[in-house]
A and B are shown apart, each in its own frame.
Chain A
Amino acid sequence: MSDILELDGVTKRFGGITAVDGATFGIEAGTITGLIGPNGAGKTTTFNLISGFYEPDEGTIYYDGTDLQELMVPSRTEHLIWGSAAGITGGVIGGAAGIGVLSLGALGGVGTTITGAGVGAGVYAGQHRLAQTRPDHTNSRPYQLARAGLVRTFQITRELSEMTARENLMLAPLDQTGEHLLNAWFRRDAVTTEEQAVRRRADEMLETLEIDHVAEEPAGNLSGGQRKLLELGRVLMLEPQVILLDEPVAGVNPTLTQKLTDRIETLRDEGYTFCIVEHDMDVIMSLSDRIIVMNEGQKLVEGPPDVIREDERVIDAYLGVA
């Protein structure tokens, strides 16, 4: 099976509203899949579920055959921080107990401190192991999905408004050397070399998206369409496998829309997988290889654009008189 994303009976409730109600479908690798439906059909919620920002109440989402929840485990650094915090706390308690309560003197104090630190770190590690084996255990570390190659854009663009367009792009690449503080301090040369490479890539991206004239402009000053492009560029800088686009051409003028869709098609041919939510029917029909129609939190129909256009249920629920 070549489905890179699979939703299996996924349900998400907000209070009394069931936004997504047992959605089951797959998204094939290397294709453009359109996700359409009337307002409130659960498209954006589905996006948030797939990108890990929400956690499903029921059902499972598989990315490349793996349960998303298993991917979203805390990173090593995070474990290190929590573990050392537990160790330090244990050490302080141990030391205080040794010197203050048991009156062991300096050497004994050192001993109890080390013991306490060991116990603290051990308790943390054990507690974490225990949590992993619990069936109801959940993780929510959406950033791990982006690291695994599954990235998203937002319906309302979330450009980093105080940073320049170029900086927005330069932020994106994963595992930059200079993101580690120690490297930023002690390996300046390596960081600088890498920064120059990242900057070159960012400039190329700005050029491809034809927004290079606003490279130095704070992203907040960009027009709505330019922000959409910037956001697309930002996820492309990550070189992901699957890109989830939430209304990528809303508010973008026709010429730019054409460029954008051409660009998406080129990228599809290069092997990227796209899943797109969009209300512009012309765009979604011409762009998509396959379309999934959602209604009331469930999949209504799925199929190639031509079939969808003619489907009675879709016309009733969404398209209206075609």
Chain B
Amino acid sequence: MAAADILVSFLLLVAIYSILSFGLNIKFGHAGLLDFGHVAFFLVGAYAAALVVIPPDTPGDFTRYVIGLGDVPVVGTWLIAVVVAAVVAGVIGGLVALPTIRLREDYLAITLLGVSVIFQRVIQSESWLANGPDALRGYSPPLQDLFPLEMGLVSDALVVGIVVFVVWGVLSTVVLIQSRRSQGGSRTIVARLGTLGLDRIALPGGRTTTALLAAGMVALASVGLLLATGGLLIVGAVVSVYGWAVLFVELYQRYGGLPRRTLAAGTALGTGLLVALLPLPLAGSLWLQVVGTLGLLAGLIGVYYHSLQRADWAREAKLTLVAIGGLWFVGIWYFLLPVLGPLGDGDLGGVIATLLANLVWFVQFGGDVGVSYAIALVGDVTVKLGYARFQLALFVAVMLAAYVVLESAVNSPFGRVLRAIRNDEAVVQSLGKNPFVYKTQAMIIGSALAGVAGALWAMYSQGLTFRTGEPRITFIALLIVFIGGLGNNRGMVLGAAVFWAFQQATSQLAGYFPTGLRENVLAFRLVVIGVLFLLILYYRPEGLLGRGRYEADTEVDSS
């Protein structure tokens, strides 16, 4: 599988868990409500959405559920399903909050944990409700029947247009977001090209509007191009090149100015990690694999820790070192090794196929893998846009919408009251504000976001069981909140990325172990995650990005 496809499946999960963690973040990070039952609203949202889009229950078969609105026009669509999920989860969140919200932090946490278990048990044992304890299946994700896309149809071209819009919008926002801070050469050029020169005009609404407008224009142009020529490859190549350009200027801007020894140390750290993993594929026996890898890993961590103790410059850049090491590792693991592998076997076609798939990441290439790929560019190449990419564009769009809505809430006086409640409720009382009302609202919004995440999960997994509501998921969300930084919404995305990167990397490693042991290795990850949690709480209690800083648009003009 090409790195781009791995990245897509990875980002799908990141998007879902970011939204889930947004919800927990407004409850716990902002209002100080420790909700150990957050997953309850995820579960409610998932089932609510599924029951909206699933066709009505046919009596006599083996599944049973209370209602299925999938056949009702307009109502039985995913758009409505997501809204319903948010509303139902929000309302239930509010109802659960009313009797519990007066409780102190730890009591509240335990009570809500109990509530979430009740919800899970209801789904599990009430068989008439949603086919418990078996899985609820039989619905399909939105517009899936359009795939595989055939260019030339208006509807299919529009679907590609949506994906282009989201990807281009995100890339342009990323590139514009720091351009105010640093007037750097390469970034400005990329920003100018990417936004079609719009960044020179001061648009109302600023960078977001600029990025969205540019994305809209590019998306329209793509739709036109697709309808005229059916050339998905051209669109894919343009978007992909823009993506690479943005990636490189961002990396350069962030790490290009660092001292050489920091870069070297980071690279050494990444290479060290790679070396530490060598015993897994190379060692003959299981014992050598485990002992060798763990020993090398321990040595690597020891060296890292030791240099943090000894050198001031290393201590100051300790997270930067890890970031550079991680990037270096990812680069080798996903880009260099997949090319080197076939090259060693003399499989030139395989090399070109991998390169092409990674470079033009926007689209997927099909057909035979062989030398023919090299000439495929001029001959006939099967280029397609996979459903996963479309789904990812949808999820990312929802995630960004949730982010914007949430940010505007917490950067307002409303958010200020929430933070005051987290600090000291009595003060809020003494200043004439009713904490009860605010805490209830925080619960409602947080639960509604969990409901949206649940709806996306239903879309992603295409089948739900009561295990969707396992308490484990609450704690994953909590871990993400702590990794990213309490009250820091951007941190949620980073936290989700770190968590799922860890999950994916380790499940790949499990592949090197004998079949019988794989399960144990995968289960052992939970232990490692627990340790990770402890380390984060101990060494960096404020999270990777730190506490959210709030300076709403209150800056009074000094003029």
Contact = CB atoms under 8 A, between A and B. Distances in A.
B408 interface: yes
B220 interface: no
A85 B94 contact: yes
B502 to A, nearest CB: 29
B419 interface: yes
B405 to A, nearest CB: 7
A170 B413 CA distance: 8
B427 A160 contact: yes
Contacts of B412: 178-179, 183-184, 191
B440 interface: yes
Interface in B134-183: none
A180 interface: yes
B426 interface: yes
Nearest to A179: B413
A141 B431 CA distance: 12
A170 B441 contact: no
Interface stretch (B240-248, B297-305, B332-340, B545-553): B545-553
B63 to A, nearest CB: 19
A179 B433 contact: yes
Interface string A174-196: 10111111011100100110011
Contacts of B434: 75, 77-78, 141, 143
B432 A146 contact: yes
A177 B424 CA distance: 22
B436 interface: yes
Interface residues of B, number: 39
A89 B409 contact: no
B413 A195 contact: yes
A81 interface: yes
Contacts of B420: 160, 163, 171
B554 A199 contact: yes
A305 interface: no
B371 to A, nearest CB: 57
Contacts of B275: none
A34 to B, nearest CB: 21
Contact of A184 (B409, B437, B556): B409
A158 interface: yes
Given A178-B412, A195-B552, A152 B424 contact: no
Given A163-B420, A181-B409, A158 B98 contact: no
Given A176-B413, A178-B414, A200 B419 contact: no
Given A178-B412, A180-B414, A78 B556 contact: no
Contacts of A222: none
Contacts of A143: 428-435
Contacts of A195: 413, 552-554
Given A160-B419, A181-B409, A238-B432, A88 B95 contact: yes
Contact of A171 (B98, B405, B417, B436): B417
B504 interface: no
B430 A151 contact: yes
A172 interface: yes
A242 to B, nearest CB: 13
Interface string A146-176: 1100011110001011110001001110101
B91 interface: yes
Interface string B518-559: 000000000000000000000000000001001011101000
A184 B554 contact: no
Contacts of B550: 167
A12 interface: no
Interface in B420-476: 420, 422-424, 426-437, 440-441, 445
Interface centre among A81, A152, A196 (most CB of B within 10 A): A81
B480 to A, nearest CB: 21
Interface string B218-259: 000000000000000000000000000000000000000000
Nearest to A219: B423
Contacts of A160: 419-420, 423-424, 427
Interface string B67-97: 0000000000000000000000001001100
Contacts of A184: 408-409, 412-415
A179 B416 CA distance: 8
A20 B407 CA distance: 47
Contacts of A42: none
Interface string A127-159: 000000000000001111111000111100010
A167 B434 CA distance: 18
A82 interface: yes
Interface in A70-123: 75, 77-78, 81-82, 85, 88-89
A75 B433 CA distance: 10
Given A82-B98, A185-B405, A142 B430 contact: yes
Nearest to A145: B432
Given A192-B554, A195-B553, 7 more contacts: A81-B94, A81-B437, A143-B433, A143-B435, A160-B419, A171-B431, A185-B405
9 contacts: A51-B430, A81-B437, A89-B95, A142-B429, A143-B431, A154-B426, A160-B424, A162-B422, A192-B554
Interface of B: 91, 94-95, 98, 405, 408-409, 412-417, 419-420, 422-424, 426-437, 440-441, 445, 547, 550, 552-554, 556
Q: Across chains A and B, which 10 residue pairs bring their CB atoms closest together, nearest first?
A: A146-B432, A184-B412, A178-B413, A160-B423, A178-B412, A147-B432, A195-B554, A176-B413, A199-B554, A179-B413
Interface of A: 51, 53, 75, 77-78, 81-82, 85, 88-89, 141-147, 151-154, 158, 160-163, 167, 170-172, 174, 176-181, 183-185, 188, 191-192, 195-196, 198-200, 203, 234-235, 238
